[in-house]
């Protein structure tokens, strides 16, 4: 069975910045990483491959700088990697992103399972995985922490408020994987060296993908960022106390009581 894992490269959370003019992410000078939940999705795919065979294909959309991160996924054990890279894809919202990725998945073909992280750390909408499933017209389940395959169907553990539920669905299927549900493996260093020297990531632009130009990038997006507002950092109220240890203890207790009771 072929498993396709959708990978997004994101700025490290503490370095996320927005360009006030374009109202898009500013990646200049930031350190990037594979979206953490996507690494959990990749680990799940690799575990399924070990058990059931088949191949794992990575799929991403972004600029050429994403290539080393796809090679890292290859070093972890994936079999192939495809990057959608074209200026026409830029500025995409979740609608046009899910459309482009679903079109690429159709072109890859012969898949049984699609795995995505539950959401990206930079956007945090959780809309792209269900969007891909809708474009493809296949079954989907979200926020899973465990997945098993039985013949032509899956059984998954899905997190819900206050607990979890066990769901079953037929293949082909898309599942979004819960952040932290497993421990992604370290890359194999010999395979990493091989990937960096010899492996070639397949790159598809908009023309080779055959997408509708009015459904991709900013042009195809149904949502726009109208305004960016930076919230002020919360101020801390600080006071110094003085006296003996006993006097300081009394003052601390008094101030805690005042804070609790207004």
Query: What pLDDT, on a 0 to 100 scale, did the predictor assign at position 22?
Result: 67
Q: What is the pTM of this model?
A: 0.82
Question: Does 260 or 199 have the greater pLDDT score?
Answer: 199
pLDDT at 24 over 70: no
Query: Which pLDDT tens digit goes with each residue over 78-93?
Result: 999 999 999 999 888 9
Q: What pLDDT band is residue 16 in, cutting at 50, 70 and 90?
A: low
pLDDT at 151 over 70: yes
**Length in residues, the chain:** 262
Percent of the chain whose predicted confidence (pLDDT) is above 70: 94
Domains of the chain (ranges; CATH) run 2-220 (3.40.50.620)
Question: Does 15 or 207 have the greater pLDDT score?
Answer: 207
Query: What pLDDT, on a 0 to 100 scale, did the predictor assign at position 66?
Result: 93
């Amino acid at each position: 069975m072929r498993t396709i894992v959708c990978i997004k490269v994101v700025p490290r959370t503490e370095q996320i910045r927005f360009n006030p003019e374009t109202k898009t992410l500013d990646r200049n000078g930031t350190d990037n990483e594979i979206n953490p939940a996507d690494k959990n999705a990749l680990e799940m795919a690799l575990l399924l491959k070990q058990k059931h065979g088949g191949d794992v294909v990575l799929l991403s959309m972004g600029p050429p700088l994403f290539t080393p991160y796809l090679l890292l996924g290859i070093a972890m054990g994936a079999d192939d990697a495809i990057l959608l890279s074209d200026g026409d894809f830029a500025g995409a919202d979740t609608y046009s992103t899910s459309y482009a990725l679903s079109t690429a998945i159709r072109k890859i073909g012969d898949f049984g399972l699609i795995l995505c992280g539950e959401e990206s750390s930079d956007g945090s909408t959780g809309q792209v995985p269900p969007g891909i499933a809708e474009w493809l017209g296949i079954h989907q389940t979200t926020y899973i922490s465990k997945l098993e395959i039985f013949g032509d169907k899956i059984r998954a553990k899905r997190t819900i408020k206050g607990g979890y539920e066990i769901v079953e669905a037929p293949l082909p299927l898309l599942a979004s994987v819960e952040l932290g549900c497993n421990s992604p493996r370290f890359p194999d260093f010999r395979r990493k060296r091989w990937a960096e020297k010899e492996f070639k990531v397949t790159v598809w632009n908009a023309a080779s993908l055959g997408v509708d130009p009015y459904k991709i990038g900013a042009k195809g997006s149904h949502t726009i960022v109208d305004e960016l507002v930076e919230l002020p950092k919360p101020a801390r109220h600080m006071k110094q106390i003085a006296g003996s240890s006993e006097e300081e203890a009394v003052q601390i207790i008094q101030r805690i009581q005042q804070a609790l009771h207004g």
